[in-house]
Structures are given as structure tokens and as C-alpha cells.
Chain A
Amino acid sequence: MPDEFGYKIEAKVDMAASGTSVPPIDYVPVAERPEQELYHSKSWWTTYVFSQDAKYIGIQYTCVATAIALVGLTLSLLMRIQLAFPNLSLLDASVYYQFITMHGMIMVVFFLTALFLGGFGNLLIPLMCGARDMVFPYVNMLSFWVFVLAVLVLVASFFVPGGPTGAGWTLYPPQAITAGTPGNLWGIVLMLVSLVLFVVGFTMGGLNYVITVLQARTRGMTLMRLPLSIWGIFVATILALLAFPALLVGGIMLLLDAVFGTSFFMPASVSMGELLQTEGGSPILFQHLFWFFGHPEVYIVALPAFGIVSDLISVHARKNIFGYRMMVWALVIIGALSFIVWAHHMYVAGMNPWFGYFFATTTLIIAVPTAIKVYNWVLTLWRGNIHLTVPMLFTLGFIITFLNGGLTGLFLGNVVIDVPLSDTYFVVAHFHMVMGIAPVLVVFGAVYHWFPLVTGRMLDQGLGKLHFWITFVGAYMIYTPMYYQGFLGVPRRYFEMYESSYISTVGLNVFITLSALVVGLAQIIFFYNVIRSVLKGEKAEKNPWKANSLEWQTPKMPPEHGNWGEKLPVVYRWPYDFSVPGVDKEHIPQNVSPSEVAGAKVEKT
């Protein structure tokens, strides 16, 4: 009689009958817990709006995060035009500072974090783990709608008196809540409320992701057989669950300082010539809380990108990811270390200078596991059979971009080199390369890769290639010159681009802005491609990239509610059995049993 996995229990009987102590090769021990009944929606509202299906929530997250990212992108283009062509008087200084603030916060938190964890997390975790859904579907639905509320509050700050806050995305007090900064009354309050809501919403989703990975994997899916995408999202979610509380605490205290005049972060100080009533608070304490969240945040964005890119590179190079176990441990070690490096953002913030030794050392140690990841990606290409598909192109673009941005981190992490470079355009170039462009290239690669899984249609490869080349080369041309502005000492967050008396950067500035406009406009190609392909794209065959991971092995593509039809899949191997010697098939999906590929000379995973 088959059990819920369609697994024949007679296997055990065979074993006893044959009198050997060796179990048959297809045998996988029973799961520890029985399957739960699945939630089924009953109305239009619960199917299409308050959906509890993780795949659907993932798409909802992706759409909202992308929509707000378009706002962030538009703000950045307007800022670039202002910087290069100040004669147009497009923005004034207040508006410029409001735009840098909103651009930063939108892109880091409301776009990349929400997209990688809320979007890809929801789409991929149940499918890749072989589960029917997240363990808490209702909480998952709430998570998304609280996120929507957070986005709405954030957007509302554009329309309140004084406009959004212009304190910079770091929201440093005292200036975040004093009169010299735009949006110091309404804007900052809405920003903080929005962040608090985001943390609340994220916590509900994050618990789901972690618990689903730990508890709802199908039979045979050991942790060391998980695709690296899931490992990346899993570790990043743990980081987020531990790091966001620091933001929550800092945010609430700053809110109290702003609204009720408390002095958590406010020292005795003057504002516009008037002595304030505040006393005794510490602005640097806020910076510690902010960066205790802010540094892990970098990895919350980067680790899912690392994971996804590992899977893309392996599938499209038709080769197993090189050094899987090392890749997993590197993710875990990077995650752990990311909690003890935060003050490298504060080398020149006025904290005790002796901190510099500790934080420079921990920061440079992180370079080792990170470098291993880069080596292993490149070594995966070595002796592969590389299909230069659009996802593969984005992967290659990511490696170059991340290499560039990661290596420049060694400048800023090494405390004494940070002294001349911090707060200059070098920093702007570094973090855009490493946590802006690099993850976004992965997002695009991932969208081209998983689009057929979601829609059943392929994205146009020709348009995809055009989109890739303009985006990758263009973005590279935006940020590489900025490093050199940083060497010159051009400070960031200047409304009028500072002109060094040593050498003019006017030409460079115009060049950067023109590149940015081209890259920004090139995204139209992408959206055109998505809309066109949803409507009338080429129908995708099942498992179009011939991948091994479970999301492509569902009975129907796109997968239906509950993902797996009657029987849950049973997993016999890791997801990287490509080009295995001894078999004709180029790839062996995770749910193919050893007896079906008897001659395969696989290493045990």
C-alpha cells in the first residue's frame, strides 16, 4: 500500500524477505511527521487578493516591490540630471535630499529585501523543499498585506506637509528631527512608522520561511541537499529576524524623540540658533543600533543573490556547483560574521578610535569566505559546457560586478583607508556595485530563469540579451568613474557636485548621468518583454532549462495549488547532478531514484 509519498511500504517487506541487511537502493526513511491538510480558498477575495498560496504571495510581493523600485529608480534619474545639469534647476536642495533619502530606503528595504525574501522566498521555498505551501499560510498572507501598508505609508510621506524626510537613508539624529532638515515634522514620522510596519510584516513572513525550511522539507531532502538558493534565503532570513529588531528599537525611540520630545538620541543642542530642551541622549547610540541592523541588511540582500546565482550558474553551465559544502558553510560563516562588523560604517563617526582595530579585523576576515564563493562560481564554469542563455549572461555580469564591488570593500573595511574615502563617491560606487547592481543583475537573471515556471511562457531571449548588455555595461560605466571621484575626495550627498580645485570632474559627471539615463530607460525593454511574454510569449516546455531542483518537477507547470498533486516527491540526491559519468542523460533531477539511473557514478550527497 503506498503512503502519502506514493512510496511502497512493501520495500521493507522485501528487505526482510530477501534476508539481507542492505536496504534496497531506493529506500528513504519515513518522514517524522505526517502531512497537514492544505488550506483551500473559497472565494474570489481569498483566491486573488488575500491569497494564502505562497507562490501567489511571492508574485504579489514581487509586483509591489518592483512598483516601488520604479519610484526609486525615477528619483535616482532625477537626481543624476540635477547633478550633471544644475542649470536646468530641476530640483532644489531640499527636494534633492528628500530624493536621496527615499531612493536609498526604497531600494534597500522596500525593494531588494522584500523582493528576495518575500518574492523569491515565497515562490521558491515550498517548491524547492518539496512542500505544498508555507507552514503558516495565513500569517504569510498577513505578512504581505502589512508590507503593502508599510509601502503605502512610505508613499504617503510624499504628500504630507513638508514632504518626505531628507535625513539620508541612515536617518541620523539629531538632524533627522531638527529644523535644518526637510520633512523633519511629518516626513520622518511616516518614514519611521513605515519601517516599524515593515519589520512587523517581515517578521511574520520570516518566521514562515525559516520554519518551512526546517520543518516542511519532503522525504529525503536533507539540509545538505537543499539548493543553494534556499540556503541563501534561509540564512538571510535568520539574519533579518535577528537584525530587524535593532531597527525596530532604534526606530521607535527616534519616533519618541520626534513626537514626544524625549532624549534617547538627542544631546543638549541648538537648532537654528535656538537652544533645544533636549539633554543627555547619544546620537552615536542610534548609529550603533542602525548599523547593527544595517550591516546584516547588506547580507540579507546579498546572500539570497549568492544562492540564486549559484543555482543559475550550475544549471546553465551544465555542471555541478563547485564545492557545495564549502558554499553552504561560507554562507553560514558570512551570516554569523555580519553581526560583528557593523561599526565599520562608523570608523569616522567619533566612536572610540580603538574600536577600529576590532572592526577592521572582523571586516577583513569576511573577505575570505566571500572570496571562496567567487572562486567557486568561476571554478564551476571551468570545464563546464556553458549555455550563454540570458540567465547565464546576468550571472556573468553579476560575477564581474560583485568582484569589483567586493574588492573595493577591502579599501573601506581597512580602517585607515576608510578615513580619506568614507563619505566620498568611492563609498557610493562601492555599495551600488556590491549591493545594488550585483543583486539586481541576479534578480533579472532569476526572473528570466523562473519566468516559465510562473507563467508557463518563455521571455524573449533576444530582447533579454539587449536588456542585459545595456544594463550591465551601462551600470558598470556609471559606477567605475565614481571610484575615481572618491579618490579625488568628492563628497557624497552634495546637492551641487563639489569641484576639486585639483582637477575638474564636470565631464565625468555628465558621462555618469548619461549612462544612468540610458540604463534607466533600458528597463523599458525588460517591462515590455515581461508584458508581451505574459500575453503571447512562446509556450514553455516543462523544465525548459533541464534543471534538477524540485520546482521544475511538479506534475503541472506552472504548479497548481498544493504544488505536487497526489504525491509528494521523494528526494534521492542533491540538485547538482549534471553531466554525471555513466549515464546518457545530461541531468538527473532530485526525485530520480538510484535504480532509474543505475550506471551513474555519482558521489554520495
Chain B
Amino acid sequence: MFVAFILFLVVVGTLVFHFWSPYWLTPVASNWGSMDQTLILTFWVTGAVFMAVGLFMVYCVWRYRYQKDRKAEYKPEDKKLEFRLTLLTAIGVVALLAPGLIVWKDFVTVPKNAVEVEVVGYQWGWNYRLPGEDGILGKTDIKNISDNNPYGLDLNDSNSKDDIMVQDADLHLQIDKPVKLLLRSIDALHNFYVPEFRAKMDMVPGMITFYWLTPTKTGEYEILCAELCGTGHYAMLGTVLVEEERDYSNWLAQQITFENALAQNRTILQLAENKK
């Protein structure tokens, strides 16, 4: 009696915790509400299975608890029952998987009009680069990295000159504009994750990974590194602001291009040289 009761409390308590506790998904701020829908579908299907199997077990523990004069049933197999349960489970699994794969197709298919934004992770912070007026990001190579050129841009690539550098500052995105985030790391694995956007992807040195999203709610969101990247991993936070078009354009106008940054650096270096 006692055992069945406590087990009952554990099973039902799980459900109670779900309804009673305030913890749940953050409000979504991107087009990936579809991920939430598949998640919530899975939550209720698996939740129902958990309750059904759990409560059936509790019932068995109570109903068939030891009695001296009871003899257990002897029935090694029941092919029909086993087949039905297998079929039912298979149907359930397909019902969960199919919508998931449909959303996955959206996730891996980047819309043609998506603007490219490069995110460069390093131990332990974030840099960003926008393509500038020509709409093309200049080539990069880790080997070009120097104090003067923290992104490792190819100086001979004319596309890099107008690239806009957002270094150790907040990233701004325009609302309702699809962006393709090109993810790059110069040292360790990192992962660009904004809980409200839902999406995430590792950043791997030597590769360019990507994902896309459309921000759908203005506001300020925290960027988290979601792949252990060394001692400073937990402090590798950043901020992304989703803005209306006007605010976004104002911000963009204040950013400097790679060419300007190089020139500035040269002037600083020159000044330093002169002082000597």
C-alpha cells in the first residue's frame, strides 16, 4: 500500500510540478516557434505515455502485491499483445519524427534573401562582421590573424575592404529580416546560442558553420556560448539587439569598415613610432 502510494505520488507529482512551477520556455523571439510546437507536441505525447505506463505500474504494484494464497499467472508470451504494442509505439514515433523532420528541412534551407552576418568566436568573446555595401564578405584565413587583423581577413581580397567590423560590441539585427549567421572560431569550439531565438550551432576552427533565423521581436537578448571552450566558457556572454529598421540603420551608419579600421590602426602605430 505504502509503496504503491509513494510511487503514485512520484508519477503524479511530476505532472503537478509541471503545472505548478513557473519554469517553462522563454517567449520565442524568432521564426523558430515551429521548434517550440514540435517540442510541445513531444512533451504531451511522451507525458501521456509516462503517465499511462507509470500509473499502470503503480496499479499492478497495488493490485498484485504479495498475498500468501495467490499464485501468479503463468503466461510466457502473448504475441497479439506484443504486436499491438509494437505497432502502436511505431505509429507514435512516426507521429513525433515526421513534424520534426519537416521543421528541420526549414532549418537547413536558408532563404535566398537572407543577409549574411559573420560571428567570430574567440576565447572568450564575440566579434561580428557585416558584408558592407557590396554585400559580400571578404575571404579570411586563420593564418592572417595579427594584432592589426584580428579576424584574419585577406588583405588582397577587394571584397573585404568595405566589410563592417563590430568588435567586442553588441550585435544588432533588424526585425523581420532573415539573417544567415556564418559562424567561425579562431581557437576553440564555441557555440552561438540565444535562448529566445532557439537556434544554436557550434563554431569550429577551420570550418564555417551556419544557421539562419528571422528575429520577430524587438528587444535585447543575451548570447551564450553553449559549447565548453575552456576556463572562461561560462563568462563568454554577449548581447544582441533586435531593432526596427530606423534604429538599425542608425547603428549601422556608426560602424567602421575594415579599411577605416586598418587606417586608424596604422595612424596609432605611426604615432607610437613617432613618439619613439
What's the minimum C-beta distance from A143 to chain B, rounded to whole angstroms? 33
- The residues in A between 303 and 338 inclusive whose CB is less than 8 angstroms from any CB of B are 317-320, 322-326
Residues of B within 8 Å of A417, CB to CB, are: 35, 38-39, 42, 100
Contact of B76 with A404 in the complex, beta carbons under 8 Å: no
- The residues in B between 1 and 52 inclusive whose CB is less than 8 angstroms from any CB of A are 3, 6-7, 10-11, 14, 17, 21-27, 32, 34-36, 38-39, 42-43, 46, 49-50
Q: Does A543 contact B (CB under 8 A)?
A: no
What's the minimum C-beta distance from A489 to chain B, rounded to whole angstroms? 3
Interface string of A342-375 (1 = CB under 8 A from B): 0000001110011011001100110110011011
**C-alpha gap A93/B187 in the complex (Å):** 19
Of A182, A272, A317, A416, most B-chain CB atoms within 10 Å: A416
- The residues in B between 48 and 94 inclusive whose CB is less than 8 angstroms from any CB of A are 49-50, 53-54, 56-57, 60-61, 64-67, 70-78, 81-82, 85-86, 89-90, 93
**C-alpha gap A348/B77 in the complex (Å):** 42
Chain B residue at minimum C-beta to C-beta distance from A166: B231
Contact of A487 with B25 in the complex, beta carbons under 8 Å: yes
Q: A371-B89, A578-B74 are in contact. Are A381 and B104 (CB under 8 A)?
A: no
What's the minimum C-beta distance from A605 to chain B, rounded to whole angstroms? 8
Contact of A175 with B53 in the complex, beta carbons under 8 Å: no
Please tell me which stretch of A289-297, A455-463, A499-507, A559-567 contacts chain B, meaning at least 4 of its Cβ atoms lie within 8 angstroms of it.
A499-507
Interface string of A392-417 (1 = CB under 8 A from B): 01001001100110011011001111
Contact of A501 with B76 in the complex, beta carbons under 8 Å: no
What's the minimum C-beta distance from B152 to chain A, rounded to whole angstroms? 9
Contact of A275 with B142 in the complex, beta carbons under 8 Å: yes
Contact of A368 with B93 in the complex, beta carbons under 8 Å: yes
Contact of A174 with B234 in the complex, beta carbons under 8 Å: no
**C-alpha gap A365/B96 in the complex (Å):** 11
Q: A175-B230, A417-B39 are in contact. Are A284 and B10 (CB under 8 A)?
A: no
Residues of B within 8 Å of A496, CB to CB, are: 234-235
What's the minimum C-beta distance from B171 to chain A, rounded to whole angstroms? 17
Q: A323-B78, A372-B82, A491-B224 are in contact. Are A93 and B72 (CB under 8 A)?
A: no
Q: A403-B53, A488-B195, A491-B224 are in contact. Are A423 and B200 (CB under 8 A)?
A: yes
- The residues in B between 194 and 245 inclusive whose CB is less than 8 angstroms from any CB of A are 195-196, 198-207, 209, 222, 224-235
Contact of A396 with B61 in the complex, beta carbons under 8 Å: yes
**C-alpha gap A495/B245 in the complex (Å):** 37
Q: Which residues of B pack against A, CB within 8 Å? A: 3, 6-7, 10-11, 14, 17, 21-27, 32, 34-36, 38-39, 42-43, 46, 49-50, 53-54, 56-57, 60-61, 64-67, 70-78, 81-82, 85-86, 89-90, 93, 96-97, 100-101, 103-104, 107-108, 122-124, 141-143, 145, 183, 185-189, 191, 193, 195-196, 198-207, 209, 222, 224-235
Contact of A415 with B73 in the complex, beta carbons under 8 Å: no
Please tell me which stretch of A2-10, A132-140, A262-270 contacts chain B, meaning at least 4 of its Cβ atoms lie within 8 angstroms of it.
A262-270
Q: Could you list 7 A-B pairs, sorted by A, with CB under 8 Å?
A: A326-B77, A357-B101, A383-B72, A385-B72, A423-B191, A491-B193, A502-B27
What's the minimum C-beta distance from B98 to chain A, rounded to whole angstroms? 10
Q: A175-B228, A385-B70, A473-B6 are in contact. Are A374 and B53 (CB under 8 A)?
A: yes
Contact of B202 with A93 in the complex, beta carbons under 8 Å: no
Contact of A419 with B101 in the complex, beta carbons under 8 Å: no
Please pick, from B14, B17, B27, B96, the residue contacting A410 in the complex, using a CB distance under 8 A. Answer: B96
Q: A97-B228, A419-B35 are in contact. Are A488 and B26 (CB under 8 A)?
A: yes
Q: Does A594 contact B (CB under 8 A)?
A: no
What 6 new A-B contacts, CB under 8 Å, besides A318-B72, A384-B64?
A: A180-B187, A364-B93, A388-B3, A410-B46, A508-B23, A576-B76
Residues of B within 8 Å of A168, CB to CB, are: 228
Q: Does A523 contact B (CB under 8 A)?
A: no
Contact of B104 with A350 in the complex, beta carbons under 8 Å: no
Contact of A414 with B86 in the complex, beta carbons under 8 Å: no
What's the minimum C-beta distance from B276 to chain A, rounded to whole angstroms? 23
**C-alpha gap A181/B207 in the complex (Å):** 21
Contact of B42 with A488 in the complex, beta carbons under 8 Å: no
Contact of B57 with A178 in the complex, beta carbons under 8 Å: no
What's the minimum C-beta distance from B75 to chain A, rounded to whole angstroms? 7
Residues of A within 8 Å of B189, CB to CB, are: 172, 174-175, 283
**C-alpha gap A385/B73 in the complex (Å):** 9
Please pick, from B78, B195, B232, the residue contacting A489 in the complex, using a CB distance under 8 A. Answer: B195
Contact of A180 with B23 in the complex, beta carbons under 8 Å: no
Contact of A386 with B66 in the complex, beta carbons under 8 Å: yes
Chain B residue at minimum C-beta to C-beta distance from A388: B3
Contact of B61 with A381 in the complex, beta carbons under 8 Å: yes
What's the minimum C-beta distance from A415 to chain B, rounded to whole angstroms? 5
Q: Does A579 contact B (CB under 8 A)?
A: yes
**C-alpha gap A487/B17 in the complex (Å):** 14
**C-alpha gap A124/B89 in the complex (Å):** 33
Contact of A411 with B39 in the complex, beta carbons under 8 Å: yes
What's the minimum C-beta distance from A519 to chain B, rounded to whole angstroms? 14
- Per DSSP, chain B at the interface is mixed
Contact of A498 with B234 in the complex, beta carbons under 8 Å: yes
Q: Does A513 contact B (CB under 8 A)?
A: no
Interface string of A483-499 (1 = CB under 8 A from B): 01101110101111010
What's the minimum C-beta distance from B24 to chain A, rounded to whole angstroms? 6
Chain B residue at minimum C-beta to C-beta distance from A325: B77
Q: Does A469 contact B (CB under 8 A)?
A: yes
Please pick, from B10, B22, B90, B204, the residue contacting A476 in the complex, using a CB distance under 8 A. Answer: B10
Contact of B100 with A579 in the complex, beta carbons under 8 Å: no
Q: Does A12 contact B (CB under 8 A)?
A: no
**The 7 residue pairs across chains A and B that have the minimum distance between CB atoms:** A267-B206, A489-B195, A180-B230, A484-B23, A175-B188, A350-B209, A383-B73
What's the minimum C-beta distance from A172 to chain B, rounded to whole angstroms? 6
**C-alpha gap A267/B24 in the complex (Å):** 39
What's the minimum C-beta distance from B122 to chain A, rounded to whole angstroms? 7
Q: A386-B61, A417-B35 are in contact. Are A350 and B187 (CB under 8 A)?
A: no
What's the minimum C-beta distance from A142 to chain B, rounded to whole angstroms? 36
Q: Does A94 contact B (CB under 8 A)?
A: yes
**C-alpha gap A424/B22 in the complex (Å):** 18
Contact of A284 with B207 in the complex, beta carbons under 8 Å: yes
Residues of B within 8 Å of A605, CB to CB, are: 76
Residues of B within 8 Å of A74, CB to CB, are: none
Contact of A400 with B11 in the complex, beta carbons under 8 Å: yes
Interface string of A163-201 (1 = CB under 8 A from B): 000111000101100101110000000000000000000
Contact of A603 with B76 in the complex, beta carbons under 8 Å: yes
Contact of A387 with B230 in the complex, beta carbons under 8 Å: no
Contact of A356 with B108 in the complex, beta carbons under 8 Å: yes
Please pick, from A319, A385, A423, the residue contacting B193 in the complex, using a CB distance under 8 A. Answer: A423
Chain A residue at minimum C-beta to C-beta distance from B183: A350
Q: A387-B66, A417-B38 are in contact. Are A322 and B143 (CB under 8 A)?
A: no
Contact of A319 with B73 in the complex, beta carbons under 8 Å: yes
**C-alpha gap A586/B10 in the complex (Å):** 33
Please pick, from B26, B86, B97, B122, the residue contacting A500 in the complex, using a CB distance under 8 A. Answer: B26
Q: Does A593 contact B (CB under 8 A)?
A: no
What's the minimum C-beta distance from B59 to chain A, rounded to whole angstroms? 9
Contact of B50 with A270 in the complex, beta carbons under 8 Å: no
**C-alpha gap A179/B231 in the complex (Å):** 10
Residues of B within 8 Å of A270, CB to CB, are: 122, 142, 145, 186-187
**C-alpha gap A282/B204 in the complex (Å):** 9
Residues of A within 8 Å of B81, CB to CB, are: 379
**C-alpha gap A383/B81 in the complex (Å):** 15
Q: Does A215 contact B (CB under 8 A)?
A: no
Q: A167-B228, A410-B96, A487-B25 are in contact. Are A378 and B108 (CB under 8 A)?
A: no
What's the minimum C-beta distance from A582 to chain B, rounded to whole angstroms? 9
Residues of A within 8 Å of B57, CB to CB, are: 378, 381, 396, 399-400
**C-alpha gap A179/B159 in the complex (Å):** 34
Contact of A375 with B73 in the complex, beta carbons under 8 Å: no
Chain A residue at minimum C-beta to C-beta distance from B105: A357
